[in-house]
Amino acid sequence: MVHTRGRQTMIERDPSRLERILAEHGERWEIGRDGLMWTATERPSPTALHVIIAPDLDALERKIIEAELSS
């Protein structure tokens, strides 16, 4: 998995979009890219794990927002 926190290692069509998503959700979610899929992982407690997988940043951000609203 390629992690995106701190530096961008994958070419993305809109790097400012990735930076904005990291700024808004990066403290709670670990965001990265694994092959063609984007992932977001949250560990709300030591025994819980929440993983989101999406094909692009738009879908990933929508899923993160939905997950945050439902919790």
Number of H helices, E strands in the chain: 2, 4
Q: pTM of the full predicted structure?
A: 0.74
Domain boundaries, the chain: 2-70
> What backbone phi and psi angles, to 5 degrees, belong to 69?
-70, -30
Residue 47 has what pLDDT?
87
Among candidate residues 68, 41, 37, the one with its CA nearest the CA of residue 54? 37
Among candidate residues 28, 27, 35, 26, the one with its CA nearest the CA of residue 50? 28
Mean pLDDT per 10-residue section of the chain, whose length is 71 residues: 46 73 93 94 90 96 95 77
Cβ distance 8 to 15 under 8 Å? yes
